[in-house]
Amino acid sequence: SASDYVDLVLVNIGSETESTTVRTTLAQLQLAANSYVAPAKRKATRERVGNGLWALAEQAEPASDNQLQFVTAFATAASTATQWEQVRWLRDGETVLEGLEIDTDLSWQLLVSLAAGGFATAANIEDALAQDNTSKGGELAAQAKAALPDVEAKLAAWAFLIERADQPNTIVRSTALGFTHPASVELLGEFVDPYFDMLLPIWKERSYQIAQYLITGLYPAPLANAELRDATRGWLDDNPAAPAALRRLVNENLAGVERAIAVQERDAA
């Protein structure tokens, strides 16, 4: 089951030395905790994953790739006030892990986490951008702003992506990543209908690459519920004449949510 997989990873990943394997497994761990575990177990599982990743970061060899990967994964997985407090202490230098350098990139990753948890403000993000006014800084600032867990921030990110066609690919991708951050999954339900309403216009008006980013990146996959599955099937049923490439992207989104629901049911058994 997904819950067993989570435990298996947390117990064993500390001894894995192949960097790519660690990265891939950590991504699968987050997917399992956020979408594959039965909904009734999800809150407790996400907390367990955050605590487990922090313990792994503390135990990792100083200055190792594993240490950095566990810290980054912990920041992404944080889901409680205590965990976000730890993220803040790490970013501010109050908590120090031997050998871990809080460089500009990691500082941004920690700030995105704090923003997603509601422990950083738009003003904090602007301050960070003023200190790192680079293209990469701009991308991460966009991600952090879109991750803020309030309806206004989500609406602003949505309008930014849907109504403005002048944004570079990297900013579009980063904003979409923040928008669907699992820490504020409960806000995504409001965007299911607008998502399907925008598919045909976006496909028609934007370049293939940008349309693909938006159709894949704004799909509220973290909801991983029957409502999203049914809405996706409904759009496909109602739009048989939609361009084949667009239907393929929507079908791929549907396959992901169907898989999540099937695994959730097994995990609940």
Each residue of 125-148: pLDDT tens digit? 999 999 999 999 999 999 999 999
Q: Computed from CA positions of residues 39, 227, 265, 77, in that sequence, does the dihedral angle turn out positive or negative?
A: negative
Is residue 246 within 8 A of residue 203, CB to CB? The reply is: yes
> Mean of the per-residue pLDDT values for the chain?
97
Q: Nearest CA to 232 among 196, 184, 268, 262?
A: 196
**Among the listed residues 195, 264, 253, the one whose alpha carbon sits nearest the alpha carbon of residue 225:** 264
Nearest in space to 176 (alpha carbons), one of 218, 207, 224: 218
Is pLDDT above 90 for 56? yes
Domain coordinates in residue numbering, the chain: 1-102, 117-269
pTM of the model: 0.95
Cα–Cα distance, 36 to 222 (Å, whole number): 10
Stretch 203-215: mean pLDDT, rounded?
95
Cβ neighbors of 163 (< 8 A, separation 6 or more) are none
